[in-house]
Amino acid sequence: ADELSGLRTGSIYTCHNTGRKGYETMKDILGDRLQYLRAGEELNF
């Protein structure tokens, strides 16, 4: 998460593989930039 926070990017998506503790740790560092992608959700670019 520390390395990701230094990237010049918008949202960062994670999913169930990250695990709850990992997600919470990353959320503390990345704040609103971190988004959780659930099964069946779609991203449109």
User: What pLDDT is recorded for position 22?
Assistant: 92
CA triple 18-41-6, angle to 5 deg: 45
The pTM for the full model equals: 0.73
Q: 6-40: per-residue pLDDT in tens?
A: 888 889 999 888 888 999 999 999 999 999 998 89
- For residue 14, list its beta bridge partners: 36
Domain ranges for the chain, please list them: 2-36
Higher per-residue confidence, 3 vs 24? 24
User: What is the sign of the dihedral through the CA atoms of 13, 3, 30 and 20?
Assistant: positive
